[in-house]
Amino acid sequence: MNKIDWKIITALQQNARLTNQELAQIVGLSPSPCLRRVRKLEDSGILRGYQAQIDQTLYGLPVTVFVSIKLERQTDHAIRAFEQAIQDLDEVQECYLMTGPRDYFLRVVSDSLQSYERFVRERLTRIEGIASIESSFAFNQVKQKPRLPPPPTLE
């Protein structure tokens, strides 16, 4: 990846609806080479898709909960089973395997505290192998950065 690729990625992170013509103009290329670079970034997996950014509160899911999960055992089977089960939970927006005292960190969205409680009781606690669940509720989102900084190799 070089500086032109980074310019393409930056422009698309700011506005994924740019036409190839507009994108080419922004990054200083003609349309054909620009499209080839975009396709190469897509094929390599660096560009994984294009999404609309949704206002979570206006959409009807104002509650954000960060959930720490500790597994009973950290065996390969337990990790795979948990990771497979979590794929089916639409409320879970992000899931990270962690170092430290907790095994997983989740970002969960909900329409209310009652719905979140129901989610925990009826869905999350039914996943085999969970030893403990700790929930922390977000009061407010202070920062959300939809763009990645340049990689150190381009600075």
Residue 64 has a CB neighbour count (10 Å cut-off) of 19
Fold of 3-52: Arc Repressor Mutant, subunit A (1.10.10)
Q: Please compute the mean of the pLDDT values over residues 84-98 and round it to a whole number.
A: 97
Tell me what pLDDT residue 155 has: 56
Q: Which amino acid is at 67?
A: V
Say yes or no to pLDDT of 30 above 80: yes
Question: Which CATH code is given to the segment(s) 56-137?
Answer: 3.30.70.920
**152 compared with 41, residue with greater pLDDT:** 41
pTM score = 0.85
Domains 3-52 and 56-137 share a fold: no
Q: pLDDT-based confidence at 145, cuts 50/70/90? A: confident
CB 6, CB 150: distance < 8 Å: yes
User: Where do the structural domains in the chain lie, given as residue ranges?
Assistant: 3-52, 56-137
**54 compared with 153, residue with greater pLDDT:** 54
Count how many residues are written for the chain: 155
Which string of DSSP letters, residue by residue, matches 7-53? HHHHHHHH-TT--HHHHHHHHT--HHHHHHHHHHHHHHTSS------
Say yes or no to pLDDT of 154 above 80: no
